[in-house]
Each structure stands twice: as C-alpha cells, then as structure tokens.
Amino acid sequence: MDEIISLPQLDPWSDTVSIDSSLQFEDERYREERLVTEEEEEEEKIETTTVISSDVSDKATRVMKVNYTTDLPEYPETSENGVAYIINTSSMTPEAVDAMCNNVQYCHKRLQPPKPTHCSVLNNAYCKRMTYICTGITHCEYLHPQLQEMHHTKLCDDDWKKIIQLRANSFVLSIFHLFMSRRACQNQEDSCSFQLVASENVTISNMHQYSIQCPHSTPANYHFFRPIPATLYSELPFIQERLNGTITASDELCAVIEQNSTRRKHCGVEHIQGRGKLIHTNCNVQFRLFQPYNLIDCPYIIWTSHGVHCHPPPPPSRTPQQLVDSLLTVIKKINDPSLTTRTLLKNPALQSFYEHWNGKSLSDVHKSLINLDKISFILRKQQLLNYPYGQHLIGVQHEWDVSHKNKPNSYIKNLILNEEKFMAVCFYTEAAKVLLKRDSFEIDMTFKRIKASEINEVVFAAFLPELNKVVTFVRIFVNQESTEMYTQLFHTVFNAIAKETGQRIQWKHLHQSGFGAVVMDMDSKQMSGLGRYLSDIDDHHRPWQWHVQHVIIYCTIHFKRGILKAVGTAFSGNFLRQQMEQLLYVSTREEYFELCNLIISDKQSTEQIRFWAIHKKQLCIASGLNASCSLMDNELFFQIRRHTNAVEKTHWKSTSLGKQLSILKAIQMGQILDETDLKQYLGKVTHGVNHSWRSSSLSSRYALQESRHRRKRQRHETDYNDGISVISSASSSGSRSQSRSRPRSQRGGTLRRVASITSASQAQEISIEQSRLELQAETARVRRMELENEKLELELINLREAARGRADL
C-alpha cells in the first residue's frame, strides 16, 4: 500500500517560510522520490523478465537480459537469471545456422533429444528446443588458484590477459627449474643460463620466431634451446621481465587449460614435482537453442544461457566454419593435388584470405589457426574429397574415368592399367594435327619429374621455326623401359592420334609422304621399339633394322658427350677426340668404317674407346650419325635438326613447375604447359600474334648465338685477367711516391717488407721458369701428335690405294 505523505501548510500570500518547514518539506520530497524510484525498479525487474518458450507452462524458459544480434558470440554471456541472444538468420542457410551454433567455444553436450515447443517471443512460432549443458574444461592438476577461482558469466579482455600472463609465467618457471636441476643442457656448465632470443628470419606465416636458449647454444651442440609458443608472443615483455627478475621455487604453478576433446594425458610442463596430469572440472551452465522449423517465415533463432561458469574459459581452439569455408575456397582455387601446409602458406592466393578477414597472418584471422596441425587437417580432408582415390595410379584411373574418357577436348587420350603395365597417353587433338604436318619430331625420356621411381615420362616435341618456339605434342607416362614397352607405346600413340584427328599415320619411306625422320639419343630400346612398330605396320614386314636405317637420326650432342666420356678431358686425347668426331663428317660409307677401324687399332685407344668405336660400326648406329651410311634421302637428312634440344627444353620447362611430383600432379602440370604451347601456336596462326617480341628469323638466331659466344669469350678473358691481376698485386713492390723520411720505429718494418718483396719476387721467377718448361713440354707433345696424325693419314691413303687396286683386279 502506498504511503501517504503529508505536506506542510503554507500561506500562499506569505512572502516568508520558516526554516523548519522548509527543511521538513525537502526531507519529505527526497524521501518520496526515493520510494518512487525503488518501486519503479521493482516493477522494471518484473517487467524485463522475458518468457522465451510458451508462457502457459510452469517450466517456461525466462531470461532477464535479451541481446539482438546477427551472430552468436564464441563465448556467450550467461547469468543466474538467464541471458538470451536473438539472432537474425535471414541471410544464412540452414547449414550456416548449424555451423554458427557449433562455433561456441564452451564444451557442451546435449541433455535430451530435441523437443517441439512454441516460442512466445517469436509470435508463438513452432520451434524445436535443444538443451545442452556445459561440460567444463580439462586442466593441469597444479592449476593456479587464481584460475581455479575464475568463475565468470561474461568474458572480458582482462581475463584473457590474466590467463596468458599466468601461462607465460608457468612457461618461464619450467625452464628455470630445468636449469636449477642442471638438466637443461647436456653436461651443463656453470656459465650456462637462459636468455630471450629473436630470430633474424621471418617465417612463412610472416612472423618472427622467438626462443629461450643457452648462450652456448648452436645447431651443432646439445645446449638448451626451446622455442616460445606463438600463443605467448603477446606476453614477450612479461617473459623478458621474468627472465631478468628473481624467480623463487614457491612460484611454481601451472596455467595449462585444454578443451575436453584433448587427447593429452599431461600438461607438458616440467614442474618441480614432475609433469602435471590433466584433470576434468565440470560445469552446470545450461544452454538452450530455440530454432523454428520454418526459418523462411521466421528467420530467427534464440540461444539462452543460465548459470555461472565455475571454471576459467577454455582456449579458442574451434575454428569458425565460415573461416574454414573461406580457407577451403582458397585450397580449391589453387587446385594442387600435392599441396602441403608449407606450400599453402607460401602461396600468394592465401593473401586474399588474409585481406578478406582483415589480417596479416593466420593468427590475426583467428587464434585457433595458430595450430598448423589444424591447417594440415583441413588440407588433408579436402584432398581426400577432391582426390578420393589418391594421386598415384588409381587416382589417374579415376581422373581418366571421370574427366577424360570419351569427353570432348580431353587431355588424357588413352590409359592402360593392369597388374604389370601402366601407360597414360596425353595430348590435345589440335597439337596432334600440328605434329602430323611435320617431317620430323624428337623423342626422349625424362626420369626426374615423377616421385615414384618406376614411373617415367616420354615426350614428343619439335622446334617450330614459324613460331620460333619449342612445342610439346605428346606426353606418355609409363612404368617400364624395354623394347616391348616402346613398341606398344608407338602403336598406342599413333593409333590414338589417328582416331582423334581422323588422319592416317604415314611414313615417307613406306608411303612416300608423312614422317621422314625421328631424332633421338642412342637408346637401343627406343631405337628397336620404333623399328619393330614400323615393321608391324609395313605390308612386307621388313626387318626392324631396315626401318631404323630409313628414319632415325641420332643426337650429335649426345654423340659428343659419349666421346668425352670415353676419352676423358686430358689434353693428350685431343687428337683422338678429333678423329672420333670426324665420323659425323666423312663423305663416304667406306671412309666411315675405315675410320672406325683406325680408332679401334690405335695404340692410344683404351678398351672403353674400342668398345665405343665397335658400337658406332653397327649399321643401325652408323645410319643415324652419317648421311652416307643412312638409307634416308640425303637432302632430308641434312634438313633435319640433328640434336634433341627441343625435348631437352621441354624437360626443363616441365621440371620448372616441380620435381618429384605425384603422377596425377605431373599430368596436370604437363597439361598446363601443353595448353599454353597450343594457344600460342594458334594465336600466331590465326591472329599473327607472336608469343614474344624476339625476332624469329634465322639470321637473328645466328646473331644471338654469336653474341652468346662473344659473352662467353669475354667471361673467360675476364677470369684470365683477374688471375693476372692477382699475380701482379701479389708481386707488387709497393708505391715509391712517399719520399718523406720515416721515423726510426718504421724503418724496421720497411726492411722486413723489402725482404718480403724480395722473397715474393724470387718465388715469381721460379713460377715463370716452371711455366716456361711446361710450355716447352706441351709444344713437344703437340709436335709428336702432328707426326702421328701425318702417319695415320699416310696409312689411310695406302689403304685406299690398296682397296682401289683390289677393285681393279
């Protein structure tokens, strides 16, 4: 019942009021205002109690505070009387709504199955109610009392700062006790101590690394070194203070707090009493989620919390789903089956992820991303989804079945996979049409691109003068290297090309048109495999050796490398090397084989050189080295590029995108390169656009080659002049321009320098004399070789005359 307040009787016509009456009036007025305010507050308390669920139930959910928001915080506020969050979900999908609710960092479990109810706040919308209970935290048994008593209803920044400081203090204490017990360094000395050190380099996460280490610590010894966890970087000044101050053993406490999902058994901190066991602390805070069955008509959900958390907050180890989805978008955009955590962090595409979430590193985006194992887990999970069959043989089979088999403009044209054989034929149809227009192509095998040692890559390529560029036509991935494999390879490749282009594969020596030559190194398996393929398609099935003599040209660069390997680099072998190189230039078949016999019978020839010459005498080898021994048309033979630089260039381009790749990754990288080559060719043919500004004329290429040789000679001359300069500076007697008298103290030094100069001059004279003698000996050796050369030429003339005489008879 309201209290009646009697006001003083005042004369309205009186100009004065007594003091007592005035004071009495003021006291009564203030008392009245106070009572009215208290009554209004009590009424306000009753009025602000909001009923969330149906108000007809005695157990209706009521809260004292309601927050309207568009996102649920990771650490929702709570109270004994209840706190509610009404979240607008009009811009969210049902999956996004579920993900938002799962972002709550408090560990919780469901108490009962979802129940249907009506929500009075949402105009009695029909909802499902889910009830959860906070399951608390897991912490070290030696947890700091301040953390044990950190009961909270709302999380503030000061709470995190207190936790981090206590955790940093625990980290420093563990190191201190290791040094106190002389267990920090192996064979710890009295001079061993600890200090805070910052690394000079920046990590791939764009952060400096900090560590606490012994002053004697190096990568090669066993002195103490421990990196500081990235979660404690914000407390580096505090750590430095603790390291510089006095630490007592009584300060030994722990601050390790983990989510209940952790699998760790101990805190990982070396306490005086040993590592602490992780124990569990329960909590009784209840969460309720009210979610309408029809989120379109009622785009709101309600999250309520009742109770007080009787534990410190758990660390933010759950990554919000929207961040995970954004990171997955970046991974899908990179589309690299061999992507690792390290290469992902180096990839420029991750910068867009940072910019989108207003950060410079993963730790700026969200604290849970400090743990790189989480990034590895996300990456591995996405790779399993993108490549469920892996990236090896079965992965290639799946890629072929899903994306290439019987598909237009596919890249993998054929795949053979069984228990013994693997062969993947890859090319674009337009590139095959370009190949069929050419007289020749180059072929080679590379061994460096594939991580699996049994898988190699065979490449068909050529230099196109009209494009002034090397173009790759076909790539074949195989798991064998034999004559039978190459025979099947040529059958499979050319059958696939004929099927894709609708054109018949022809060879000039069989059909008077088509391919005239194939350039390769002297690989017996490639050579015989191609010969057997040609014998199979030959109507007369002539021997494979006959076909080899008609179509194969061997790389002269590999030929000269073989000479260098057989002879060596000694100066005495120069004449022999010249003889061996002459096999490429002799004008008749007879001269070729006579020169081979001379090399074999030469007294200076070693067993390795003789074996080399016997190998070059074989008809299948001689035909690819010298036009006079080949059954190919001489004009065509000299028109063809007699080296495999095109396929070597292809290998270099391929390895520039990575070595030791998975098979699927190697195929994808090859597809990118081949598509680029094809588009550059088509751009030149259809629109006249060059792939570079460099001139494609033959004269320009010769001029470029000459400039390269000139620069090489200049480098050699510079190296020689530098050597002369070093000798000259070492033998210099110093400057004589200083004619002033020197103090007595400097004269002794001058005499010593003069003696040193005299000694250096004598050493230089000895060196010059030694060089003169070596030059004389070299001149004598050259003269002896010239005489031997003349002798061999006379023997060759006599052999020719004897052969002519026998022919006349």
* pLDDT of the residue at 5: 30
Determine whether 657 is exposed, middle or buried from the number of CB atoms within 10 Å of its CB (0-12, 13-18, 19+): middle
* pLDDT of the residue at 267: 83
Enter the tokens of residue 222.
């066993």
Mean pLDDT computed over 38-45: 47
DSSP 8-class letter at 442? E
Q: At what angle do helices 663-687 and 429-436 cross, to 10 degrees?
A: 60
- Give the rounded percent of residues in the chain with a pLDDT score beyond 70: 79
Q: Is residue 747 over pLDDT 50?
A: no
Q: Apex CA 710: angle with CA 644 and CA 556, to 5°?
A: 20
Q: Is residue 19 over pLDDT 50?
A: no
Q: CB atoms < 10 A from the CB of 413, how many?
A: 23
In the block, residue with structure tokens 């410079």: 360
Rounded distance between C-alpha atoms, residue 348 and residue 365, angstroms: 16
Q: Is residue 730 over pLDDT 50?
A: no
* pLDDT of the residue at 720: 52
DSSP 8-class letter at 569? S
Rounded distance between C-alpha atoms, residue 694 and residue 707, angstroms: 15
Q: Is residue 571 over pLDDT 60?
A: no
Q: CB atoms < 10 A from the CB of 762, how many?
A: 10
Cβ proximity of 303 and 65 under 8 Å: no
DSSP 8-class letter at 313? P
Rounded distance between C-alpha atoms, residue 159 and residue 152, angstroms: 9
- Note the helical H segments in 193-287: 236-244
Pairing of strands 300-306, 422-426: unpaired
Looking at residue 122, its amino acid is: L
DSSP three-state, residue 441: strand
Cβ proximity of 654 and 670 under 8 Å: yes
Rounded distance between C-alpha atoms, residue 468 and residue 695, angstroms: 8
Mean pLDDT computed over 539-543: 93
Mean pLDDT computed over 400-414: 92
Cα of 583 vs its chain's centroid, Å: 48
Which of 174-178, 261-265, 345-349, 670-674 tops mean pLDDT?
Answer: 670-674
Cα of 574 vs its chain's centroid, Å: 47
141, 330, 362, 437 from 372: Cα distances, Å? 27, 16, 9, 53
- Give the rounded percent of residues in the chain with a pLDDT score beyond 90: 35
* pLDDT of the residue at 299: 92
Cβ proximity of 126 and 292 under 8 Å: yes
**Weakest mean pLDDT among 49-53, 65-69, 749-753:** 749-753
Residues 6+ apart with CB under 8 A from 404: 410, 411, 412, 413
pLDDT band for position 809 (cuts 50, 70, 90): low
In the block, residue with structure tokens 């021994």: 629
* pLDDT of the residue at 448: 78
Cβ proximity of 283 and 136 under 8 Å: yes
| SS3 track for 78-104 | CCCCCEEEEEECCCCCHHHHHHHHHCC
pLDDT digits (tens, 9 = 90+) for 416-454: 998 889 999 999 999 999 999 999 999 999 887 888 888
CA-CA-CA-CA torsion for 699, 705, 709, 714, nearest 10 degrees? 80
Rounded distance between C-alpha atoms, residue 607 and residue 158, angstroms: 84
Q: Is residue 27 over pLDDT 50?
A: no
Cβ proximity of 484 and 528 under 8 Å: no
From the list 409, 457, 450, 456, the residue with the least C-alpha distance to 432 is 409
Dihedral sign for Cα atoms in the order 218, 219, 222, 228: positive
Mean pLDDT computed over 606-617: 92
* pLDDT of the residue at 725: 56
Rounded distance between C-alpha atoms, residue 304 and residue 52, angstroms: 9
Looking at residue 772, its amino acid is: R
**Weakest mean pLDDT among 204-208, 247-251, 328-332, 733-737:** 733-737
From the list 226, 219, 167, 155, the residue with the least C-alpha distance to 196 is 226
Cβ proximity of 226 and 211 under 8 Å: yes
* pLDDT of the residue at 637: 94
Q: CB atoms < 10 A from the CB of 724, how many?
A: 9
Q: Is residue 456 over pLDDT 50?
A: yes
Rounded distance between C-alpha atoms, residue 707 and residue 701, angstroms: 10
User: What one-character-per-residue DSSP string does 131-168 give?
Assistant: EEEEEEEEEETTB-HHHHT--BSS--HHHHHHHHHHHH
Rounded distance between C-alpha atoms, residue 307 and residue 135, angstroms: 13
Residue, of 254 and 643, whose pLDDT is higher: 643
* pLDDT of the residue at 202: 66
pLDDT digits (tens, 9 = 90+) for 576-602: 888 899 999 999 999 999 999 999 988
Cβ proximity of 613 and 599 under 8 Å: yes
Cα of 610 vs its chain's centroid, Å: 48
Residue, of 669 and 658, whose pLDDT is higher: 669
In the block, residue with structure tokens 């947890």: 143
Whats the size of the chain, residue-wise? 809
Question: Per DSSP, what are the bridge partners of residue 66?
Answer: 84
Cβ proximity of 382 and 339 under 8 Å: no
53, 101, 152, 195, 301 from 288: Cα distances, Å? 10, 11, 19, 50, 11
Rounded distance between C-alpha atoms, residue 775 and residue 720, angstroms: 17
Q: Is residue 54 over pLDDT 80?
A: no
**Weakest mean pLDDT among 347-361, 735-749, 782-796:** 735-749
Rounded distance between C-alpha atoms, residue 651 and residue 673, angstroms: 11
Q: Is residue 96 over pLDDT 60?
A: yes
* pLDDT of the residue at 52: 81
User: What one-character-per-residue DSSP string does 740-759 give?
Assistant: S---HHHHHHHHHHHHHHHH
Residue, of 50 and 635, whose pLDDT is higher: 635
* pLDDT of the residue at 172: 77
Cβ proximity of 311 and 151 under 8 Å: yes
Q: Is residue 494 over pLDDT 90?
A: yes
Residues 6+ apart with CB under 8 A from 508: 439, 514, 515, 516, 636
* pLDDT of the residue at 721: 58
Mean pLDDT, the chain, rounded, equals: 80
CA-CA-CA-CA torsion for 332, 335, 339, 341, nearest 10 degrees? -20
pTM summary value = 0.60
Residues 6+ apart with CB under 8 A from 454: 479
Rounded distance between C-alpha atoms, residue 332 and residue 324, angstroms: 12
